[in-house]
């Protein structure tokens, strides 16, 4: 079985969100920037007021790797990608691209979030090719 | 004193092998004794110490103090956490001697693999910290992070797998001339392409490999080093840099690492330029790291690293012999302490068949992605 997240005070909102099939990213109330990974302060302006904000879940593959080595819970090969969300240049999540052959994944490919159950209380945000493309 | 008044006076290694039957403490002490003997000094001369213990595969300074019977230290530092590996304690120790915190510092990096604890995460393990956003997606290995940076570099600059292959092949050719390198069988580009894919675009031969072993260097004042057996190797300058964000996936431009800022600092602080450097011993935990360091240090333009390498510019006998001991790719993962040792031997003119004729200035580096460290060393005049 794949490794599972161990939420803490800074990150619990993210996993509570995915459990409700919502992708929540912190947004700085002072400068408006989205911030991932979750932090107690904005790395761009230093302000300490960050609010979990639902995002569209749409974006593109900024870069990726197709992993052939054994990792518990994964069938080889599988795709690990940096997904850049539409909300902000450089706002990226590490995730998987599913629903497409690994060989067909490319930089720039449009993707959208979908939620995958990983354990009773854990849903993981993974990405598939955007519908209608 | 400034860094220019500081020198490396001794270097030494333990055995460096795929699997040693000796403990990591025994290996470390072997390397430290060898470095002190090389410097013509004894344990009683050591009053400073630094190491990069890295992951829990090594030991702290105190174990060496005890093991060598050093009466006591005036300065020491175990550089834990996220740092440019073995270059970090070298710079720290040189700084410590320069400001008078100690006079003679021993720096080491040692590793021994824990074979009872396989790498990666256990099945269904609960992972905290930043890894909770990576491990559940199977992103559990450094190779995957760097593979994604390399892929982006290929996309933006046209770098190819063959370019990466030339790095592995060239460093192996150098390792053949280095008795200490565990991997000395010649390889060709065909062998490179035939090695198994780990995580695209990285094949097995793009990745360094774990070894059991240790390396150590002795750092003291240039004035003192002039009275010791070997030609002193002067520390011209050192720099350690980061960007704003520690997370490798949030770094704005994945084709340029923290090494760019590090290189800019190094050239500015020393007044030297890339064309002043005769030999480069740069971090190559993965092949692409060496390519990016070459670009970021300014030995070629950004994006030109692949062609620069493929045209033969990093081989012994060329413009910029690089990783003349075989690098981490062929001489093993000791996080750049052997890069430092090799640079010192080159600048002493003591690198035997690997010697770069007339080498006067060398660069050493470690780190990648979001943090970097590098130093310029020179044969003292």
The predicted structure's pLDDT at residue B55: 67
The predicted structure's pLDDT at residue A133: 62
All structural domains of chain B, each given as residue ranges with its CATH number in brackets, are: 1-113+210-230 (3.40.47.10), 141-208+233-381 (3.40.47.10)
Chain position carrying tokens 């002190």: B36
The DSSP bridge partners found for residue B127 are A5
Q: Is the pLDDT of residue A127 over 70?
A: yes
The predicted structure's pLDDT at residue A120: 87
C-alpha B142: how far from its chain's center? 16
Mark yes or no for CB contact B127/A3 under 8 Å: yes
Query: Distance between CA atoms of B117 and B25, rounded to whole angstroms?
Result: 19
The predicted structure's pLDDT at residue B71: 95
Chain A interface includes B264 (CB < 8 A): no
The predicted structure's pLDDT at residue A65: 98
Q: Say which range, A26-35, A124-133, B32-41, B211-220, has the weakest mean pLDDT.
A: A124-133
Instruction: Work out whether strand B48-51 and strand B197-199 pair parallel, antiparallel, or are unpaired.
Output: unpaired
Percentage of chain B modeled with pLDDT above 90: 93
Query: Distance between CA atoms of B330 and B171, rounded to whole angstroms?
Result: 7
Task: List Cα–Cα distances, B282 to B143, B322, B328, B335, B370, in angstroms.
Answer: 18, 7, 9, 10, 16
Chain A residues close to B199, C-beta within 8 Å: 65-69, 80
Instruction: Work out whether strand A78-85 and strand A58-67 pair parallel, antiparallel, or are unpaired.
Output: antiparallel
Q: Which two tokens stand for residue A23?
A: 């992708």
Q: Is the pLDDT of residue B328 over 80?
A: yes
Q: Say which range, A48-62, B78-92, B362-376, has the weakest mean pLDDT.
A: B78-92
Q: Could you give the 3-state DSSP secondary structure of residue A45?
A: coil
Question: Which among B315, B289, B333 has a CA at the least distance from the CA of B85?
Answer: B333
Mark yes or no for CB contact A3/B247 under 8 Å: no
Q: Is the pLDDT of residue A115 over 90?
A: yes
Mark yes or no for CB contact B127/A62 under 8 Å: no
* Number of CB pairs, chain A paired with chain B, less than 8 A apart: 131
Q: What is the DSSP letter of A69?
A: S
Chain B interface includes A63 (CB < 8 A): yes
ipTM over 0.90: yes
The predicted structure's pLDDT at residue B54: 73
Over residues B196-221, the mean pLDDT reads: 98
Query: Distance between CA atoms of B300 and B152, rounded to whole angstroms?
Result: 19
Query: Distance between CA atoms of B321 and B278, rounded to whole angstroms?
Result: 7
- Phi, psi (degrees; rounded to nearest 5) at B95: -60, -40
Q: Say which range, B29-43, B113-127, B193-207, has the weakest mean pLDDT.
A: B113-127
| Domain boundaries defined on chain A | 9-54, 56-133
Percentage of chain B modeled with pLDDT above 70: 98
Over residues B57-71, the mean pLDDT reads: 95
Q: Which of A61, A66, A82 to mutate to test the interface with B (most CBs of B within 10 A)?
A: A82
Over residues B162-170, the mean pLDDT reads: 98
Residues B284 and B250: beta-carbon distance below 8 Å: no
Helix axes of B258-270 and B287-296: crossing angle, nearest 10 degrees: 40
Q: Is residue B213 reached through a cis peptide bond, with omega within 30 degrees of 0 on the bond before it?
A: no
Over residues B363-373, the mean pLDDT reads: 96
Residues A80 and A94: beta-carbon distance below 8 Å: yes
Count of beta carbons in the 10 Å neighbourhood of residue A60: 18
pLDDT digits (tens, 9 = 90+) for B238-288: 999 998 888 899 999 999 999 999 999 999 999 999 999 999 999 999 999
The predicted structure's pLDDT at residue B118: 65
Higher pLDDT, A131 or B95: B95
Task: List Cα–Cα distances, B278 to B90, B186, B359, B376, in angstroms.
Answer: 20, 25, 5, 11
Question: What CATH number has the domain spanning A56-133?
Answer: 2.40.50
pLDDT digits (tens, 9 = 90+) for B90-148: 999 999 999 999 999 999 999 998 777 666 677 778 999 999 999 999 999 999 999 99
Instruction: Work out whether strand A110-119 and strand A58-67 pair parallel, antiparallel, or are unpaired.
Output: antiparallel
The predicted structure's pLDDT at residue A71: 87
Q: Is residue A77 reached through a cis peptide bond, with omega within 30 degrees of 0 on the bond before it?
A: yes
The predicted structure's pLDDT at residue A12: 97
Q: Is the pLDDT of residue B196 over 80?
A: yes
């Amino acid at each position: 079985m794949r490794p599972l997240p161990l939420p803490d005070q800074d990150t619990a909102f993210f996993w509570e969100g995915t459990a409700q099939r919502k992708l929540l990213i912190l947004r700085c109330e002072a400068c408006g920037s989205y911030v991932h990974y979750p932090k107690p302060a904005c790395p761009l302006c230093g302000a300490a007021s960050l609010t979990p904000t639902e995002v569209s879940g749409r974006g593109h593959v900024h870069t990726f790797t197709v992993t052939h080595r054994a990792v518990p819970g994964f069938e080889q090969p599988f795709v690990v990608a940096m997904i850049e969300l539409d909300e902000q240049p450089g706002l990226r999540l590490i995730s998987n691209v599913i629903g497409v052959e690994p060989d067909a994944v490319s930089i720039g490919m449009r993707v959208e979030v979908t939620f995958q159950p990983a354990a009773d209380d854990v849903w993981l945000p993974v990405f598939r090719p955007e519908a209608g493309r | 004193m400034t860094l220019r008044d500081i020198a490396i006076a001794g270097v030494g290694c333990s055995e460096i092998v795929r699997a040693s039957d000796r403990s990591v403490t025994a290996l470390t002490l072997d390397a430290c004794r060898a470095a002190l003997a090389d410097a013509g000094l004894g344990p009683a001369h050591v009053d400073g110490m630094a190491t990069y213990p890295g992951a829990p595969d090594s030991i702290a300074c105190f174990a060496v103090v005890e093991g060598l019977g050093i009466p006591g230290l005036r300065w020491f530092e175990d550089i834990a956490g996220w740092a440019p590996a073995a270059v970090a304690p070298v710079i720290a120790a040189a700084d410590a001697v320069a400001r008078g915190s100690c006079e003679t510092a021993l720096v080491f990096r040692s590793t021994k693999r824990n074979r009872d604890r396989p790498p990666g995460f256990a099945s269904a393990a609960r992972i905290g910290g930043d890894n909770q956003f990576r491990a559940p997606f199977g992103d559990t290995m450094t190779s995957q992070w760097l593979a994604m940076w390399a892929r982006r570099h290929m996309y933006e600059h046209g770098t190819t797998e063959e370019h990466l292959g030339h790095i592995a092949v060239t460093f192996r050719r150098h390792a053949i001339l280095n008795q200490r390198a565990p991997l000395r069988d010649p390889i060709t580009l065909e062998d490179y392409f035939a090695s198994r894919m780990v995580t695209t675009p990285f094949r097995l031969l793009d990745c360094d490999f774990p070894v059991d072993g240790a390396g150590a260097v002795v750092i003291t004042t240039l004035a003192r080093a002039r009275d010791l057996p070997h030609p002193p190797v002067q520390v011209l300058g050192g720099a350690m840099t980061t960007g704003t964000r520690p997370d490798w996936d949030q770094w704005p431009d994945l084709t340029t690492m923290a090494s760019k800022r590090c290189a800019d600092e190094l050239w500015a602080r020393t007044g030297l330029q890339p064309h002043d450097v005769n030999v480069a011993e740069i971090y190559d935990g993965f092949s692409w790291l060496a390519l990016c360091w070459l670009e970021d240090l300014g030995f070629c333009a950004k994006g030109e690293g692949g062609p620069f390498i493929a045209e033969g510019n990093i081989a012994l006998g060329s413009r910029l012999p690089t990783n003349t001991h075989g690098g981490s790719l062929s001489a093993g993962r000791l996080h750049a302490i052997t890069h430092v040792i090799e640079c010192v031997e080159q600048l002493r003119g003591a690198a035997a068949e690997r010697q770069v004729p007339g080498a006067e200035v060398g660069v050493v580096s470690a780190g990648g992605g979001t943090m970097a460290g590098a130093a310029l060393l020179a044969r003292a005049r």
